[in-house]
Chain A
Amino acid sequence: MSDATDIHGGGGARVSGLADLRATGPQGMIVLRGDLADPGLRTAVGAVYAAAWPGAHGVSFAPPRGLCWMSPDEMLLLGPKDAVADDLAQLTAALGDQHALAVDVSDARCAFALSGPAAREVLAKLTPADLSPQAFGPGRIRRSRLAQVPAAFWMAEDGTTIHIVVFRSVAQYAWDLLVGATDPKAPVGLRQG
């Protein structure tokens, strides 16, 4: 078992079972609140983030940065942790006096990754969200819950890696849930192929 430091700090905690679970470490995260349908807001984000504008329930990446659609008025902006201050300053300048709010929330969240062919059914033990390939294909993001805590998760382009973001205050709880769900003695067996 990993200890809390591995999960919260530099990351690197890793557990392998039905799927491969990793604490992916420091991740720059800026939450942007505003009307995502507003072209002005889109232009301001485009000035800092090269990724294509994601549609509803979508994510879009231009490494090392990315955009995650969180709701019609919220976008999560990902980037290198050590570049967050600069990214935020540029974004704030680009937004000017537009009606929007951008805040660095990097230290308020933790990021995990779950990968392998059984990643879907491991995560599906913990959430009511529809994780079928039809509903949750590559590039799709879903906000839901993992047992008793909120979480957001998206499917990477490879179709087998699910990235998970939870509040830091409940990261240990979420990690322990995921460790339990990957236990090799608890397969689900719904996976096809």
Chain B
Amino acid sequence: MLTLRCPVCGIDADETELSPGGEAHLTRFGPDASDDDFHDYLFTRENPRGVHFERWRHSYGCGKWFHAARCTVTLEVFGTYSAQTTEPPAGIRAVIAEKRPGWSWRGLS
């Protein structure tokens, strides 16, 4: 069972108080995109074995969306952060880099 701290209201929320929102930091391809880009936006996900960034909503609490960084193998939570960002913030990346040496994601580490 996951426990994630909602960065909006500060509650340590149980997984069952949250709604999963899938992979975070997707780039949206809209009506003018190529078929391939739109297909990938809809269906292609990273599904990593290890560090993963996800969207969650504190649906039984403050109701707000946020992001979480966790390990899909161990369920270790590296941290949670604002949904108002297009990439994991430096603080979260530093935690991951320390715990998973050599890790990188889209050129960031």
Residues of A within 8 A of B (CB): 56-57, 70-72, 74, 128-130, 142-145, 150
Contact = CB atoms under 8 A, between A and B. Distances in A.
Contacts of A142: 11
B14 A71 contact: no
Interface stretch (B21-29, B42-50, B56-64): B56-64
Interface in B1-57: 8-12, 14, 16-17
Interface residues of B, number: 13
Nearest to B6: A71
Nearest to B60: A145
Interface of B: 8-12, 14, 16-17, 60-64
A145 B17 contact: yes
Contact of B16 (A70, A72, A74, A128): A128
Given A128-B17, A144-B17, A145-B17, A72 B12 contact: no
B62 A150 contact: no
A70 B58 CA distance: 12
Shortest 3 CB-CB contacts between residues of A and residues of B:
A71-B62, A128-B14, A145-B60
A143 B61 CA distance: 5
A56 B63 CA distance: 15
Contacts of B60: 143-145, 150
A129 B11 CA distance: 9
B56 to A, nearest CB: 15
Contacts of B9: 56-57, 71-72
